[in-house]
Amino acid sequence: MTVVSRLLRIVVGAIVPLSFAGVAAAQYVDHNAVKCEAVAKEEMKPQMELQKKLVSEGWKVRQVKNFNGCYEVYGFDTSGRRVEAFFDPKTFAKVGEIKQPE
């Protein structure tokens, strides 16, 4: 193996895992930076619907509340990791998550 090919393997071996870490970190947000588009109350789905949806997906939901126009969910995700996640109240699309200590 040449020096150049060894060096290339080392560089690629370092870059690939870091790129995946960057993608995973992109969904984590600053709590105060989370904000959802304003939605009329009539268009908002009930919080209980979001809770039922998440529970059916394997989450353990402790609390759901409003925060900056989003639904803020405290609980444990499908892998049992403690989470604080934010969802759009109209579509239930996940708009962010705050990394919790292990």
Distance CA 60, CA 31 (A): 21
User: Residue 19 falls within a domain, yes or no?
Assistant: no
User: Residue 81 falls within a domain, yes or no?
Assistant: yes
The type of residue at 48 is: M
pLDDT by residue (tens digit) across 78-98? 999 999 999 999 999 999 998
Task: Please count the structural domains in the chain.
Answer: 1
DSSP conformation class of 33: G
Residue at token pair 């759901």: 64
DSSP conformation class of 5: H
Domain CATH for 67? 3.10.450
Tell which wins on pLDDT, 4 or 36.
Answer: 36
pLDDT at 1 over 60: yes
The per-residue DSSP string of 38-100 comes to: ---GGGSPPHHHHHHHHHHTT-EEEEEEEETTEEEEEEE-TTS-EEEEEE-TTT--EEEEEPP
User: Residue 13 falls within a domain, yes or no?
Assistant: no
| The model's pTM | 0.68
Predicted local confidence at residue 98, as pLDDT: 86
Residue span of the structural domain in which 67 resides: 30-98
pLDDT at 72 over 90: yes
pLDDT at 28 over 60: no
